[in-house]
Structure 1
Amino acid sequence: MATLRTNPYGAFNYLVSLGGTDEASVVAGFSDVSGLGSEISYSEYRNGNEPVNTVRKVANTFKNDDVTLKRGLIGSLDLFEWYKRVREGQHEPRTVTITLLDEARQPVLTFSLRNAQIKKWTGPTLAAKGGGEVAMEEIQLAHEGIEYA
């Protein structure tokens, strides 16, 4: 599905699907998605008879960064309920997809998080200073891999 073009895509048109058994229960869009990343670890190795006095870097395991999703608080308890079920011992991994859209709102790129599980829920910061801030909640997802299509 990845679509090649000359101009880069904007980072403001995307859809998030949290997978699970009842996708319709997830209400509202997310204003921020961050942490899409992965890092490979390397081991250093050198034979005793190497002609060059330096070590080789050998790729081994990799780790995935946690993904953070933020949305305005709308009165829906779906994210907190997922967190609560996991906290109480239920195993609820999901395939979470983030789909980048072009200006015509057509899908151009999809990131899939394999076996994503909620790791952290953060509620809104409330302050009576009369500002125009929006009450936000955020979740942090641990996952076992990113697929890019």
Structure 2
Amino acid sequence: MVTTSGFKGHVPDSSSFLLEVDGTQIGMFAEVSGLEVTVEVASYAEGGQNGFVHKFPGRMSWPNIVLRRGICESDALFAWVMKSSGSGFASNQNKLSVSTAAITLIGSDGKRLRAWEVTGAFPVRWVGPELAVGSTGHPAMEEIELAHQGFVSKTFKS
């Protein structure tokens, strides 16, 4: 049974994600992975207390986020990659220009359901489509990988 708790009876459709960078729409994506956080655990063995070990939260770490979609007409995604590397990076006196990105889950009715605001984001990898003469059966896909400094989650009021 699919639970709809928190979405007012709407079952979230996880096949439509909008990527925005510094408020500019980059495009829609079919897959997002890497929306996770890991908290290191520091252990402290207190003297005289042999029955247990104290555990405390430590540093948080986030893996890179990977987004995949079919090829589209817009150059906004690749332009962002070029701004953060190569001659775009050099023209900024070799200073990294990080962005605030938003990954938004869009419902089947077109409404924004939930978003993850990613801070300190910059692209670290772009993968274009695999091209082969006579290749049929799978769409041309592109992929972008983002390094970042963490994210927060937010819901939208309907």
TM-score (ref. length: structure 2)? 0.76
After superposition, the C-alpha distances for 1:55-84 in whole angstroms (9 at most, x for unaligned) are: 222111010121111222235433233223
More RCO (CA 8 Å, sep 6+): 1
User: Are the aligned partners of 1:13 and 1:105 in contact in 2 as well (CA < 8 Å)?
Assistant: no
CA drift of 1:46 comes to 0.5
What secondary structure is seen at the aligned counterpart in 2 of 1:140?
Answer: strand
CA drift of 1:119 comes to 1.3
Is 1:45 matched with 2:48?
Answer: no
Partner of 1:36: 35
CA drift of 1:134 comes to 2.0
Q: Whole-Å Cα distance in 2 between the matches of residues 95 and 18 of structure 1?
A: 6
Is 1:10 matched with 2:13?
Answer: yes
**Aligned alpha-carbon RMSD (Å):** 2.4
Partner of 1:136: 141
CA drift of 1:118 comes to 0.7
Q: Whole-Å Cα distance in 2 between the matches of residues 74 and 97 of structure 1?
A: 19
Q: Whole-Å Cα distance in 1 between the matches of residues 127 and 48 of structure 2?
A: 55
After superposition, the C-alpha distances for 1:66-112 in whole angstroms (9 at most, x for unaligned) are: 11112222354332332233223342211111222334322221111
**One-letter amino acid matched to 1:137:** E
Distance of aligned partners of 1:87 and 1:13 in 2 relative to their CA distance in 1, 3 Å threshold: closer
Q: Whole-Å Cα distance in 2 between the matches of residues 60 and 6 of structure 1?
A: 38
Deviates more, 1:62-71 or 1:86-95: 86-95
After superposition, the C-alpha distances for 1:34-70 in whole angstroms (9 at most, x for unaligned) are: 2111111111211122151x32221110101211112
Map 1:1-149; keep pairs closer than 5 Å.
3-5=6-8, 8-19=11-22, 23=24, 26=26, 28-52=27-51, 54-88=52-86, 89=89, 90-149=95-154
Q: For structure 1, which runs of at least 5 residues remain unmatched after alignment?
A: none
What secondary structure is seen at the aligned counterpart in 2 of 1:116?
Answer: strand
Q: Whole-Å Cα distance in 1 between the matches of residues 109 and 69 of structure 2?
A: 23
Distance of aligned partners of 1:105 and 1:129 in 2 relative to their CA distance in 1, 3 Å threshold: same
